[in-house]
Amino acid sequence: MTALDRALGAFYGLALGDALGMPTQSLDRETIKARFGRIIDLQDAGPLQPIAANMPKGSITDDTEQAILVGELLVEGQGRIEPAVLAQRLIEWEARMQAKGSQDLLGPSTKRAIEMILAGHSPEEAGRYGTTNGAAMRITPVGIAADVADSERFIAAVVQACQVTHNTTLGISSAAAVAAVVSAGINGMDLGEALNLGQQIAQQAQEHGHWVAGGRIASRISWARSISVDSDKALLADLLYDVIGTSVASQESVVVAFALAQQVAVGEMSAFDALCMAASLGGDTDTIAAILGAMLGACLGLQSWPAPMIATVKAVNHLELEPLVQGLLALR
């Protein structure tokens, strides 16, 4: 399997997870069960979806769109992301969303940071309250472009991508964990080892950014991976939803993605089944499934995803990620 195959597996895995979770995002588990049963395929959003009402099946959301935006900035900046340019692009992205009547707008941390930048605060200052999963959801291109083998340079690249919106211990370490698994996968590391490395890099990365109270990402990943493997399979979804949590908080949604990735690493689930469980959980389903899809795709390659579904996601969203992914790999 080539690095290109793994990198495409990561980016299209992110898009597929995002699309599977699109109709269920922000809904509780009971509503999802009543409306969809269990997600096992791409579904239309329907009129009652609070964020993406009536979006057709296979549609992506902010997770994939903002990851593409970060990827384009990396290629343009030859590996560097200027915080002020990222802020400007995110403002323009939200304006486009509002113009087409979408409710899929900037998340709480990103919105607050951009309001601070518009009010004249520095990018370093603007991100000091960002603890949610917005940085982790759009970090995959950094994992493709930067090699985790050089951990200091790698973490510096993650910090640069997070700083403007999520310049906190939680925001940076959660994004670093995800990016590290993606980068390790592209280097050919197997999934279990890549998850271990993601945990280690999260621990190193939590030295960066403004300290905020909250369970440490590396410690919570370690705990979630172990309870995930020890749990009764029939109760796994309850455990993830009730005990770890599926909110936009990075120490819930990012950690749940690692717990599900662990199920795949130990052979309890296929990559696609894990994405379906993520999309069925309730809460921030599109982001959990997108992050999980990126990590699994990087380690297992593009062929781990059903080709007809990838084709649908490409067609519905006019998505052609190959040139962007090749540009990111050239930076690596």
What token pair was written down for 175?
A: 């994004």
Residue-range domains of the chain with CATH = 3-331 (1.10.4080.10)
Cβ 144 vs Cβ 11: under 8 Å: yes
- Give the separation between CA 74 and CA 54, rounded to whole angstroms: 33
- Sorting pLDDT into bands at 50, 70 and 90, what band is 83? confident
Dump the DSSP string for 257-269: HHHHHHHHHTTSS
Residue 210 has phi, psi (to 5 degrees) of -70, 135
pLDDT at position 107 over 90: no
Average pLDDT over residues 309-323: 98
pLDDT of residue 82: 87
Q: What is d(CA 244, CA 14) in angstroms, rounded to the nearest whole number?
A: 21
Q: How many CA atoms lie within 13 A of 267 on its CB side?
A: 0
Evaluate if residue 118 carries a pLDDT over 90. no
Quick one: pLDDT band at residue 123, thresholds 50, 70, 90? confident
For 253-296, the pLDDT digits (tens) are 999 999 999 999 999 999 999 999 999 999 999 999 999 999 99
Residue 103 has pLDDT above 80, yes or no: no
| Euclidean distance between CA atoms 152 and 148, whole angstroms | 8
Each residue of 187-245: pLDDT tens digit? Answer: 999 999 999 999 999 999 999 999 999 999 999 999 999 999 988 888 999 999 999 99
Model confidence at 124, pLDDT cuts 50, 70, 90, reads: confident
263 neighbors 295 (Cβ within 8 angstroms)? no
Average pLDDT over residues 125-135: 94
Length of the chain: 332
Half-sphere exposure of 187 (CA within 13 A, CB side): 18
What are the pLDDT digits (tens) for 21-40?
999 999 999 999 999 999 99
Cβ atoms of 93 and 69 within 8 Å: the answer is yes
Q: What is the spatial distance between Cα 67 and Cα 60, in angstroms, rounded to a whole number?
A: 11
Average pLDDT, the chain: 95
Residue 102 in this model has a pLDDT that exceeds 80: no
Cβ-proximal residues to 164 (8 Å cutoff; 6+ apart), any chain: 83, 84, 86, 87, 113, 117, 123, 126, 127
